[in-house]
Chain A
Amino acid sequence: MRHIIRQITDRAFTILTGTSVVLLAFALLVILGPMLWRGSKAVIFKDTVEFRKMQLDLYNRGNPANLKVENAETESFRKTVYETIDDFKHGIDTEELIDRTKQIYRQLGKELRYKGVTDEEYQRIRSLARELRDRLQAAFESNDKKVIKENINYVLRYHLDENLAETSAVEFFTLAEDFQQSVENIDLNKRQQYAGSLQQIEEIIFHLLGPRPGDPLPALTMNRYGATRWDLAQKLLDNLLWSEKWIQKEAAQPLVKIRVSRAEEFAGTKLEPLFGYVQNNLDKMLKPEFTVYWQYFIDDSTPGHYFGGVGPEILGTLLLTLLAMLFVFPLGVISAAYLVECASDNIAVRIIRMSINTLAGVPSIVFGLFGLAFFVLFFIPLFGGPSKPCILAASLTLAVLTLPVMIRASEEAIRSVPQSYKEASLGLGASKFRTFMRVTFPVALPGILTGVILSLSRVAGETAPILFTGAVALGPLPKSLFDPTMTLSYGSYDIAVGDRLAMMVPHNQYGMVVTLVLLILCLNTIAIVLRARVSRKLRGQ
């Protein structure tokens, strides 16, 4: 009977351990999988001609001749889009039309004076022109088709007037004709609505295709190019084709969001064919291609992380991590050696031990504030350094943060060195210090390296301690230890709390986080390999 129970418990134990391992692997997969997949999109994605333009302009990469050819190819397709929009606008943008009439009227006045007509004629023509102008304005502003027709017809009656021929007043008539034509198809009540939607559409086209050829260059770099990624373009296309509206489905219920096709909205107008056209020809306008943007890891980043890569961030994280480890390794090992070898078991040492253990649980933001108050404002200026956030202060803060972990791991490792080695060394006449350096420390090294591995992971990913002591969201590459730097952890935080730009660059967010994970993985692998080699040498192989 007992034998069966033992068998059952054995098997249950095996199953339980197996299950927990599987669960752990599954959890890792669920967490890391999507992150890696989406982060890889920062490097491997379908780019567009806009991307290649940007690369050429900002980083001098790519073939200018090829790009010129591609640009020419997209020209014709884009032109159609612009023309369709312009066409429609003329029927809608009454403000512009009214301004135009005013301009024409003034122009006419100047021309008449130049021509040198008699006073009486001048007055007559001018008053006629004034009336035409006012009528046109009335037509433009009115929402009533009848009123419009009446005014337009009145204006057009004068279009053969020889007094107005060969002057700029001729344009009155073209405007009137155009207007009449476009007005046929439009539901005038919806004009206001159309204006709003048109603005949205123009903005989307601006994001898609960049500034119009001939328009002045925008000030911000990110506005100078259209959609640089195909997936972004697809998203913008979706925004173009569908608009979201809030409607009241049922009384006394919260508003519900629905999608309305814009093509339906503009049904019957000149703008209607735009949507189908863009949908079918977007690839000809943007020329998407698969690309591997490995320079992501080297490139400088642009404001808002809109373009570019995470090169400076990687450098910053590496600098901070390695410098912090440089500070904490000797400090931790020496403290641990003291605690194991030299400390006697009195109250003072017990207090020290308790303090170290407590320090391990302090929240990292407190370390950040401590770093600011102590290192930035007091310690570094004490030695003549500048009192500002810098790499030195940040890495010192990180070192203090990870010190308890290092001390604990080193203490365990040093304690586990067999007493026999110490006895043998002391028996040969070595002092305590020589014994530690030559015998105890090399044997404890694998355990100490475990502490290093644990510390590395923590230090590389910490954001709060470096917030006030050395991290900056955007800045030049640090030239000395007294400059602040960009880091991957702070950059991720910055994008996350930033403005709407974050939604435009989700790939950059994921990319930064994945880069951080991969960086920590690399550092850990190096440390693990080192530890394995030291271990093997100690075991005699």
Chain B
Amino acid sequence: MQKGKDKMQISALEKEANIDHIDSVVSLGQKAGSGIKKKKPDCKCAVIKSENFSFYYGTKVGVKDITMEIYPCSVTAIIGPSGCGKSTFLRSINRINDLIPHTRVEGRLLVNGHNVYDKSTNLVNLRQQVGMVFQKPNPFPKSIFDNVAYGPGLHGVKKRSALQQIVEESLKAAALWEEVKDDLKKSALALSGGQQQRLCIARALATRPNIILMDEPCSALDPIATSKIEDLIDKLQNDYTIVIVTHNMQQAARVSERTAFFCLGELIEYDSTAKIFRNPGKKQTEDYVTGRFG
């Protein structure tokens, strides 16, 4: 695929972190996907909106006063230096931060118009709608089939035939089907790192979410696996709202339409990817993107 080959070339150039190449990357991305990136009229994806959202770990600030709106059926990247609150914000969307004790929340975080931190929120439904892929691939120590069927099984799908269908669809959507279709009973831990991460994506897709959150999904993978996953993200963006946190600016430039730049817990700038990388509004953004700090 032409797009794939270009992406391979760009990956090879990543090592130099040369800002000039960012330009070409962005234009390439725009050119290739420009036909598909328009919002489809019948898109049923959810909208994520945060209004003055703050998150505290005890007294320490996670994120402060975040106000942004994430558009449906698109890929939004969140970039920034380490410890700036990207993952905190992401994990607040499906409330996986609840696992950490002594946390506090201010403001509102709305998914489809409903505040997720409201007391009446049904976490099970929320997490069925909002899927998550983590930094390190974490398939369960079960078979491939059981991994993917875990989610639908939780939400009421009991019949074997229905589960098999869902598993097949999810694995195909995650571009893993061809590699594992012969032996779905094999343990998930026997797969390679990239395959495991794709399995985790398939597992997240199996619950038919509207939103997929990805917390640095490729940071633990080699470049070839990374490019496969980036292909996948590209394919999925038509049907899902994808928010991806990444350290890798080239990756953000490649896959996303809009980018948010976080720094020290605050949202510095949020705009289309092209603008952020070519013509950032704030100086901080420019410093980070050109590599002068971070």
Q: Which residues of A contact B (CB under 8 A)?
A: 418-431, 434, 438-439, 442-443, 537-541
Cβ of B140: which chain A residues have Cβ within 8 Å of it?
A: 421, 424-425, 439
- Cβ-closest chain A residue relative to B95: A426
List CB contacts (< 8 Å) of B119-165 with chain A. 123-128, 131-132, 134, 136, 138-141, 150-151, 154-155
Asked if A429 contacts B141 (CB within 8 A), the reply is no
- Cβ-closest chain B residue relative to A429: B127
List CB contacts (< 8 Å) of B80-139 with chain A. 94, 96, 99, 123-128, 131-132, 134, 136, 138-139
Asked if B207 contacts A429 (CB within 8 A), the reply is yes
Interface assignment of B64: CB less than 8 Å from any CB of chain A: no
Number of A-B contacts (CB under 8 A): 72
Asked if A427 contacts B96 (CB within 8 A), the reply is yes
- Cβ-closest chain A residue relative to B133: A427
Asked if A428 contacts B150 (CB within 8 A), the reply is yes
* A421 vs B147: C-alpha distance when bound (angstroms): 11
Interface assignment of B26: CB less than 8 Å from any CB of chain A: no
Would you call the interface of chain A mostly helix, strand, loop, or mixed?
helix
* A426 vs B127: C-alpha distance when bound (angstroms): 8
Cβ of A428: which chain B residues have Cβ within 8 Å of it?
A: 127-128, 131, 150-151, 154, 203-204, 207
Cβ of A422: which chain B residues have Cβ within 8 Å of it?
A: 99
* A541 vs B138: C-alpha distance when bound (angstroms): 17
Tell me how far the C-beta of A436 lies from the nearest C-beta in chain B, rounded to whole angstroms: 13
* A83 vs B187: C-alpha distance when bound (angstroms): 83
Interface assignment of B233: CB less than 8 Å from any CB of chain A: no
> How many interface residues does B have (CB within 8 Å)?
29
Asked if A538 contacts B141 (CB within 8 A), the reply is yes
Cβ of B126: which chain A residues have Cβ within 8 Å of it?
A: 429
User: Known: A443-B141, A539-B189, A541-B187. Contact between A426 and B154, CB under 8 A?
Assistant: no
User: Known: A419-B99, A429-B128, A540-B187. Contact between A424 and B154, CB under 8 A?
Assistant: no
Tell me how far the C-beta of B109 lies from the nearest C-beta in chain A, rounded to whole angstroms: 16
Cβ of B204: which chain A residues have Cβ within 8 Å of it?
A: 427-428
Asked if A423 contacts B141 (CB within 8 A), the reply is no
Asked if B138 contacts A429 (CB within 8 A), the reply is no
Asked if B94 contacts A540 (CB within 8 A), the reply is no
* A42 vs B155: C-alpha distance when bound (angstroms): 62
Interface assignment of B75: CB less than 8 Å from any CB of chain A: no
* A525 vs B182: C-alpha distance when bound (angstroms): 36
User: Known: A428-B204, A443-B141, A540-B189. Contact between A423 and B154, CB under 8 A?
Assistant: no
Interface assignment of B267: CB less than 8 Å from any CB of chain A: no
Asked if B94 contacts A430 (CB within 8 A), the reply is no
- Cβ-closest chain B residue relative to A443: B141
Interface centre among A420, A426, A429 (most CB of B within 10 A): A429
User: Known: A429-B154, A540-B190. Contact between A424 and B134, CB under 8 A?
Assistant: yes
Tell me how far the C-beta of A413 lies from the nearest C-beta in chain B, rounded to whole angstroms: 14
Tell me how far the C-beta of A443 lies from the nearest C-beta in chain B, rounded to whole angstroms: 6
Asked if A429 contacts B132 (CB within 8 A), the reply is no
Asked if A430 contacts B187 (CB within 8 A), the reply is no
Asked if A423 contacts B96 (CB within 8 A), the reply is yes
Cβ of A420: which chain B residues have Cβ within 8 Å of it?
A: 134, 136, 138
Asked if B141 contacts A424 (CB within 8 A), the reply is no
Asked if B203 contacts A426 (CB within 8 A), the reply is no
Partner pick for A427 among B131, B136, B139, B187, CB 8 A cutoff: B131
Tell me how far the C-beta of B167 lies from the nearest C-beta in chain A, rounded to whole angstroms: 14
Interface centre among B151, B155, B190, B203 (most CB of A within 10 A): B151
Asked if A540 contacts B141 (CB within 8 A), the reply is yes
Cβ of A434: which chain B residues have Cβ within 8 Å of it?
A: 154
Tell me how far the C-beta of A18 lies from the nearest C-beta in chain B, rounded to whole angstroms: 35
Asked if B99 contacts A427 (CB within 8 A), the reply is no
- Cβ-closest chain B residue relative to A419: B99
* A424 vs B204: C-alpha distance when bound (angstroms): 9
Given A420-B134, A428-B131, 9 more A-B residue pairs with CB atoms under 8 Å apart are: A420-B138, A422-B99, A427-B134, A428-B127, A428-B203, A429-B128, A429-B207, A537-B141, A538-B141
Interchain residue pairs with CB less than 8 A apart (15): A420-B134, A421-B140, A423-B99, A424-B140, A425-B140, A428-B154, A429-B124, A429-B128, A429-B151, A430-B124, A430-B154, A537-B187, A539-B189, A540-B189, A541-B190
* A424 vs B213: C-alpha distance when bound (angstroms): 12
* A425 vs B147: C-alpha distance when bound (angstroms): 10
Cβ of B79: which chain A residues have Cβ within 8 Å of it?
A: none
Interface centre among A422, A426, A434 (most CB of B within 10 A): A426
Tell me how far the C-beta of A359 lies from the nearest C-beta in chain B, rounded to whole angstroms: 28
- Cβ-closest chain A residue relative to B122: A429
